[in-house]
Amino acid sequence: MQTIDGGWLAQAEHCLSPNYGERPHNVAISLLVIHNISLPPGQFGGTHIRELFCNRLDCGAHPDFNDLDGLRVSSHLLINRDGELCQFVSFLDRAWHAGESDFQGRSNCNDFSIGIELEGTDDLPYTDQQYDSLVQVTKTLQNHYPLISSGRIVGHCDIAPGRKTDPGPAFDWHRYKKLLG
């Protein structure tokens, strides 16, 4: 099992993002949101995702980056195609990953959720290594934050329907839930 110390996953590389805030007082972590991201879209590897989450992306480096200029976003964790983990924000803090969102009638999901980005797209299969890492991280989070039950693990598409589609139809929810046990 992985370990969490002071809101940080010990097994992850730590790349500190300035894009976070304090969670509201007395709000428990009770939701896990799974996303996908690739920069440029459909291309994997490189440092662009990290640069985006740390406000260091050169938006002139690729035409697809033009609309990212001035964007301030983050996620708690990124799982790359090799299954490697990079953490940007402490789990104790509020990462800026969900945007306008709602879960079971409760808005502002960033307040009570943890966001995990998978390097990928809606329509390309995720890797075995990503599923393995995601399952290990999920089990660790559920152990540390017991309000994250299996019914409180969702895709970005579930909390921002019509606005977001990730992790997309390529994400195998059945496989993921089966591996979680």
pLDDT tens track for 135-181: 999 999 999 999 999 999 999 999 999 999 999 999 999 999 999 99
Q: Tell me, yes or no, if 117 is annotated catalytic.
A: yes
Count the neighbouring beta carbons within 10 Å of the beta carbon of residue 105: 5
**Cis peptide preceding 167, ω within 30 of 0:** yes
Token code pair at residue 168: 């997309």
What kind of fold does domain 4-180 have according to CATH?
Lysozyme-like (3.40.80)
Contact 27, 111 (CB under 8 A): yes
Helix (H, G, I), strand (E, B) or coil at 35: strand
Q: Is pLDDT above 80 for 1?
A: no
Question: Please, what is the average pLDDT of the chain?
Answer: 97
Q: Which residues contact 176 (CB under 8 A, 6 or more apart)?
A: 131, 134, 135
Nearest in space to 103 (alpha carbons), one of 34, 16, 44: 34
Residue 64's pLDDT band, with cuts at 50, 70 and 90, is: very high
Which one is catalytic: 22, 51, 100, 117? 117
